[in-house]
Structure 1
Amino acid sequence: MPYTNEEGGRLNNFAQEPKVYRAEPPTAEQKRNYIILGVAATVLVGGLIFVAFSVSNLS
C-alpha cells in the first residue's frame, strides 16, 4: 500500500487505483438480450399502468 510520511511523522495513505481497460462493444447475443429485456420492461410497466387506471375507475 503506497503511503508517504508527512511532517511530524504522520502517515498519508493513498487508495490503490484500479487498472484501466477498454470496454468492448456488446455482442449480437447481448444486443438481442437488451431488446428482449426492454420489451419485457415495457410490457410490465404498461400492464401496471393499465391495472392502476382500471382500479382507480371502479366506482
Structure 2
Amino acid sequence: MVLPQGRIMRARAKQFKEAILALINQVWGEALAGEIERAWTSSTKCHCNILQTDFSSIPAS
C-alpha cells in the first residue's frame, strides 16, 4: 500500500482510510478464523458451565 505523494484531498484520504480498514478487517478476520479453527480441532476438551443469577430480586430476610 502506497500513500500518494503531494497534497491529499478528501477523496484520496477517504480511499486510503477505506484501504487501511479493509486490510485491518482482513487480518483480524484471518486471525479470528484461525483461533476458531484451532478451538474446534483441539484435542483438549474443556466443559464449561455458566450460571447467572440476579440477587437483587430476592427479598432480604
With the length of structure 2 as denominator, give the TM-score of the two structures. Answer: 0.53
Identity %: 11
Structure number, greater radius of gyration: 1
More strand by share: 1
Off by >3 Å, runs of 4+ in structure 1: none
Aligned-residue Cα RMSD (Å) equals 1.2
Q: Gaps spanning 5+ residues in structure 2: where?
A: 43-61
Q: Larger RCO: Structure 1 or Structure 2 (Cα < 8 Å, ≥ 6 residues apart)? A: 2
The aligned length equals 37
List gaps (5 residues or longer) in structure 1. Answer: 1-22
Q: 1:37 Cα deviation (Å)?
A: 0.6
Q: Name the TM-score, length of structure 1 as normaliser.
A: 0.55
